[in-house]
Amino acid sequence: MAKKIKPEDEVSTEEKIKEAARTVFMKKGFSATRTRDIAEEAGINLALLNYYFRSKEKLFELVMMEKFQAFFGVIFPILNDPSTSLEQKVELIADRYITLLTETPDLPIFILSEIRTNAERMVASVHLDKILVDSQFVKQLHQRRPDMHPVQLIMSILGLVVFPFLMRPLLMQAGNADTKMFTAMMNDRKQWIPKWFDSMLKVK
């Protein structure tokens, strides 16, 4: 307590802008966002945004890197953990992603939308190729089921976990689900996705 100079609730202007940027960029994407929106959301003046972050692009990149990290940071450590089995990896991915995305459901559509315009730059910072090719996951899968392509398996798990969050706005608007029901459905998935893959992963 004595160490703190500022009280908990006193947030720096810089952080206020960053937080506002997270909110607005996530909701509308880069192109549809105006710096004025961010300034208003932050409760500060437009000029301050440029004072702290130089430009809309620089501020965006900051947010993007953060979100990118949040999204892919979940899966990489799991895939590379030598102490877990294939089955446990599947279970962990399902569990961690559904937990993360239940908190921030807009994350996948944000990432995927912005990748569309910016695939080159984004990819440079992930190294999907390196990370996948010599991961524990790939080795384990090759040993167990050399006939299965690791990318196919990853895409299947992520498809089952992430895709519902991409359809969420449509489902909820159409009256097929409310927040509570959607969350319940996703928690169901935490249970049966691992079971589903268990039978798939059995040695032929």
Is residue 62 involved in binding DNA (CB under 7 A)? no
Q: Which does 200 bind (CB under 5 to 8 A by kind): a copy of itself, DNA, none?
A: a copy of itself
Binding piece for DNA, criterion CB under 7 A, among 42-50, 73-81, 144-152, 157-165: 42-50
Number of residues that bind DNA (CB under 7 A): 17
Is residue 149 involved in binding a copy of itself (CB under 8 A)? yes
Is residue 142 involved in binding a copy of itself (CB under 8 A)? no
DSSP class of 125: T
Nearer to DNA, 23 or 50 (CB): 50
Binding piece for DNA, criterion CB under 7 A, among 52-60, 105-113, 139-147, 183-191: 52-60
Total Cβ atoms within 10 A of residue 64: 21
Is residue 169 involved in binding a copy of itself (CB under 8 A)? yes
Positions that interact with a copy of itself (CB under 8 A): 27-32, 106, 109, 112-113, 115-117, 119-120, 122-123, 126-129, 132, 149, 151-152, 155-156, 158-164, 166-167, 169-177, 185, 188-189, 196, 199-200
Positions that interact with DNA (CB under 7 A): 13-14, 33-36, 44-48, 50-51, 54-57
